[in-house]
Chain A
Amino acid sequence: QKEVEQNSGPLSVPEGAIASLNCTYSDRGSQSFFWYRQYSGKSPELIMFIYSNGDKEDGRFTAQLNKASQYVSLLIRDSQPSDSATYLCAVKGKGSSNTGKLIFGQGTTLQVKP
């Protein structure tokens, strides 16, 4: 079992729809959870971070964390073609407090069709 799992996609949604990206993790002691967006040929850009159970909203983005189910998701409302990118889920484990080491999922490719 991989430490952080994402569906590689592509996930295709029409413009204006809600895109739902999912991530599961195996380390129950994981502390912090991050979503990065990466356009082709560019570096990862931080979209959201979350460390408490529940929802966290920032504009069109909502991160959801359920530690009991070891599940974190990213919802993108009113999806735009410019949201088409690879979304990386990253998790900081309990043993990484000093180093901040992140474990990345394989990434989900999102395609928003006009």
Chain B
Amino acid sequence: DTEVTQTPKHLVMGMTNKKSLKCEQHMGHRAMYWYKQKAKKPPELMFVYSYEKLSINESVPSRFSPECPNSSLLNLHLHALQPEDSALYLCASRTQARTDTQYFGPGTRLTVL
């Protein structure tokens, strides 16, 4: 089983709203990732959590705030976003096997008005 789930599937928010994206995996993976993907571009890494600790922040603006409450759950809190933040937000988790394979969730399509 390589399932990563994400909620919601779609989100529309205004620039003054606060919302959260949720990601969950029950595969025992200890590394989880947030990516942002714009149309016709590859996924762009935002954050990496390893053993529930933030290990990489790719200079992401503070209006994006990640949280890892436990080893199965990853949140991305959104506040005061800009229209250019509209994108597909992808969560992934990584196996600890030799191949270090990342599996992606279905994504959340975010539109900022």
Choose from B90, B101, B106 the contact partner of A49 (Cβ within 8 Å).
B101
Contacts of A27 in B (CB 8 A): none
- Across the interface, do A98 and B42 meet the contact criterion of CB distance under 8 Å? no
Contacts of B102 in A (CB 8 A): 34, 46, 90, 100, 102
**B88 is an interface residue with CB less than 8 A from chain A:** yes
User: How many whole Å from B53's CB to the nearest CB in chain A?
Assistant: 11
Contacts of B88 in A (CB 8 A): 43
* Number of interface residues, chain A, beta carbon within 8 A: 24
- Across the interface, do A45 and B104 meet the contact criterion of CB distance under 8 Å? yes
- Across the interface, do A46 and B42 meet the contact criterion of CB distance under 8 Å? no
**B55 is an interface residue with CB less than 8 A from chain A:** yes
- Across the interface, do A92 and B90 meet the contact criterion of CB distance under 8 Å? no
**A71 is an interface residue with CB less than 8 A from chain B:** no
Contacts of A41 in B (CB 8 A): 109
- A109→B37 CA distance, assembly (Å): 16
Contact with A along B40-52 (1 / 0, CB 8 A): 1111010010100
Choose from B41, B48, B103 the contact partner of A106 (Cβ within 8 Å).
B41
Choose from A34, A43, A101, A107 the contact partner of B42 (Cβ within 8 Å).
A107
- The A interface is mostly helix, strand or loop, or mixed, namely loop
Choose from A44, A46, A51 the contact partner of B90 (Cβ within 8 Å).
A44
User: How many whole Å from A36's CB to the nearest CB in chain B?
Assistant: 8
**B56 is an interface residue with CB less than 8 A from chain A:** yes
- Across the interface, do B50 and A99 meet the contact criterion of CB distance under 8 Å? yes
- Across the interface, do B106 and A100 meet the contact criterion of CB distance under 8 Å? no
Q: A45-B104, A88-B42, A105-B42 are in contact. Are A98 and B99 (CB under 8 A)?
A: no
- A32→B94 CA distance, assembly (Å): 13
Residue of B with least CB distance to A31:
B100
- A99→B58 CA distance, assembly (Å): 12
